[in-house]
Amino acid sequence: MCGIVGLFLKDKSLEPELGSMLTKMLVTMTDRGPDSAGIAIYSNDSMGKSKIVLQSDTPEIDFAGLDTALGNAIGAPVTMKIANTHAVMTLPEGTIENARAVIADINPALRIMSRGDTLEIYKEVGLPKDVAARFEIEQMSGSHGIGHTRMATESAVTTMGAHPFNTGNDQCLVHNGSLSNHASLRRKLRRQGIHIETENDTEVGAAYLTWQMQNGATLGEALQSSLDDLDGFFTFVVGTKDGFGVVRDPIACKPAVMAETDQYVAFGSEYRALVDLPGIETARVWEPEPATVYFWNHSTKPSKEKAA
Amino acid sequence: MQTLDMAEIALRDLNETLHAQAENTNQTAWEIVNPKGAHAIACGLDAPIEVTVKGHTGYYCGGMNKQATINIKGSAGPGVAENMMSGTVVIDGDASQYAGATGHGGLLVIKGNASSRCGISMKGIDIVVHGNIGHMSAFMAQSGNLVVCGDAGDALGDSLYEARLFVRGSVKSLGADCMEKEMRPEHLEILADLLEKAGADAKPEEFKRYGSARELYTFKIDNAY
C-alpha cells in the first residue's frame, strides 16, 4: 500500500495555494504510507534558468561553498537555496547535463533528487506531515505537483527509496504497487548503461521510462509500453513540465480516484485525499480505467489513449 | 430521524451507536453527514433500521450488513457491502472495485457504474447495477444473481460456479468456463422481480443470461479427494 496525490491547477489564482493544498492531500494519505514521503512541485515560470535539487545526509558540511564549486566547475553563475537536507541549485538554462557530470566529482556523497527547468523534488524518510514541514511545502506555489506516501514492501526505507523518482528533465514518477520483474529488468537496463542506484522496484520503473525516452519514445509511448514490459501491480502518476499523466496496470487493483472542476484536476489514491479541495462537492469524480494512459496539461486538451 | 455528524463523532462511536440498535428499536431512521470518504461506515449492522449516508464513502461501507437498509447519496469506495448477509444497500453514484464481494444475501443496488471485480466470489447476494461493470466481475461467483443494465468488461464470470449473470448490453469478453445460456421463464421471473426491487427501468426480455459451463477441473468428480 502507498498513497498518491496529484493536483493540476487550471485556475491561476490558486497557484499560491498549491503547496498547502498538496500538503493537506499528502497528510491525509499518511495511513497508506507512513515510512517516507515526497513531493514534486512545478513552478510556473523558469525565467531562463534550470534547477538541480541535491540531497545530503550532512548538509552543513556538503552544501558549504557548493554554489561556488559548482559554478567554477561549469563556468557559469550558480545560486543555491538550502532547505533542510536539500539544496536547490539554480543555473543557466542548458547547463544541466554539464552540471550533472561534475557533481559526482565535486562530492560523491551528493544525491540528485531532480533536474529540470521548473521541477523541484523534496523527499525524505518520516511521516508525511514531518517531511512536508521540513521543506515548508505549504509555503510553495506552483502550477502543478504530485506527492507520495510510502509503505515500503520491496526495498529499504531510505531517502533514495522514497518517491517521486526523477526520470528525465522535468519528469518524475510516483508508484503505488509492486513490480515483480524488477530484478531482471534492472540487470537488462544496467547492461544498456542506465544508472540504477538502489534495489527499489519503482526506481527500475522510472529507469525503464528514462531508457524508453532516450531511445526516442515520447512519455506517452513509454507509459504505453510499460503496460507490456512491467510485470506487477501499479498505479503510476507521472509529472511533466506542463501537466501530469496517469496509468494503471490492466488488473487495476491499486486504487485511483480523479476529480475535475473548472479550477483543477486532482488525483488521489482515495477520495479522502480530495475532500478539502474547493468545490469538491460538485466536482466530477471518477476512477481512471485500467490499461489506459491519461494526460492533463496546460498546452492541450485532456487526452486518453487506450492500450491496444 | 437521528443524525450522526462524522465531523463531530468518531467512526468507532458511530458504528457502536448503530450496533446498539436492537431488533425492536424505535429509532429506525438514521442520517450520517460529512462522511468525506471515511472507511468502514455503517459496517456490521444487525437491526431493521434505515441509514442514509449523505456523501461519498471510502472502503467497506455497509460491510457484513444484516437486516439494515443503507442508502449512500454519493459514490462508494472499494468493497462496498462486502460479505453482506441480508438487508439492502443502495448507492446513488458509482461503486469502486469489488462491490458486494463474497456477499451471502440481501440486495445491493448501484445506480451508477461499478468498477472491476463486482460480485467477486458472491455467495447468494443479489446485485443490480443500473450502469456498466468493470473487468473480472463475478469471478468465482458461487450463487445469487448479478444483473447489469449496461455493459460488462473483460473476463465476466471467470471460474464461475452457480451464480446467474444477466447482462443487457455488451460483454467485452467472457472469463474461463463462462458461457451464454438460454433464458427460461423462471429466469425472466427472477429478473423482473430484481429489476422492480432495484427501480431499474429495463425489460427482462432485453437481457442475456450467462452461467457456468461446468467444464473446469473443480467440476470433474475424478478430481475430488
pLDDT at B221: 87
The average pLDDT across A218-223 equals 91
A270–B135 CB contact, under 8 Å:
no
ipTM of predicted assembly, 2 dp: 0.92
The SS3 call for residue A23 is helix
Q: What is the pLDDT of residues A8-46, one digit of tens each?
A: 999 999 999 999 999 999 999 999 999 999 999 999 777
Q: What is the pLDDT of residues A266-287, one digit of tens each?
A: 999 999 999 999 999 999 999 9
Q: Grade residue B224 by pLDDT with cuts at 50, 70 and 90.
A: confident
Question: Does the pLDDT at position A261 exceed 80?
Answer: yes
Question: Does the pLDDT at position A69 exceed 90?
Answer: yes
Which domains are assigned to chain B? 2-223 (2.160.20.60)
The average pLDDT across B165-175 equals 98
Question: Does the pLDDT at position A301 exceed 70?
Answer: no
Q: Which residues contact B16 (CB under 8 A, 6 or more apart)?
A: none
Q: How far is CA A66 from CA A24, A60, A97, A113, B171, in A?
A: 33, 11, 17, 16, 62
A271–B78 CB contact, under 8 Å:
no
User: What is the share, in percent, of chain A residues with pLDDT greater than 70?
Assistant: 97
Q: Grade residue A197 by pLDDT with cuts at 50, 70 and 90.
A: confident
Q: Which residues contact B100 (CB under 8 A, 6 or more apart)?
A: B80, B81, B82, B84, B108, B118, B119, B122, B125, B127
The average pLDDT across A286-302 equals 83
The average pLDDT across B23-32 equals 93
Neighbours of B85 (CB within 10 A): 17
A255–B58 CB contact, under 8 Å:
no
Which of B38, B75, B134 is facing A285, going by the closest CB pair? B75
Closest-approach residue (CA) in chain B for A254 = B97
The average pLDDT across A259-269 equals 97
Interface with B, mutate which of A285, A287, A292 (most B CBs under 10 A): A287
B36–A286 CB contact, under 8 Å:
no
Q: What is the pLDDT of residues B175-187, one digit of tens each?
A: 999 999 999 999 9
Interface with A, mutate which of B54, B135, B139 (most A CBs under 10 A): B135
Closest-approach residue (CA) in chain A for B55 = A281
Q: Are A91 and A83 in contact (CB under 8 A)?
A: no
The closest alpha carbon to A22, from A2, A37, A35, belongs to A37
A290–B96 CB contact, under 8 Å:
no
* Residues of A at the B interface, defined by Cβ within 8 angstroms: 250-253, 255, 257, 270-275, 285-287, 290
Q: Are A150 and A135 in contact (CB under 8 A)?
A: no
Q: Grade residue B5 by pLDDT with cuts at 50, 70 and 90.
A: very high
pLDDT at A44: 75
d(CA A26, nearest CA chain B) in Å: 15
d(CA A102, nearest CA chain B) in Å: 48
Q: Grade residue A308 by pLDDT with cuts at 50, 70 and 90.
A: very low
Q: What is the pLDDT of residues B88-99, one digit of tens each?
A: 999 999 999 999
The average pLDDT across A214-227 equals 92
The average pLDDT across A168-191 equals 95
d(CA B122, CA B139): 8
Which of A272, A286, A287 is facing B37, going by the closest CB pair? A272
Neighbours of B44 (CB within 10 A): 16
Beta strand A36-42 with A144-150 is antiparallel
Interface with A, mutate which of B115, B120, B137, B158 (most A CBs under 10 A): B115
The average pLDDT across B160-181 equals 98
Which of B36, B94, B135 is facing A272, going by the closest CB pair? B36
Question: Does the pLDDT at position B203 exceed 60?
Answer: yes
Q: Grade residue A297 by pLDDT with cuts at 50, 70 and 90.
A: confident
pLDDT at A154: 86
Is A2 among the catalytic positions? yes
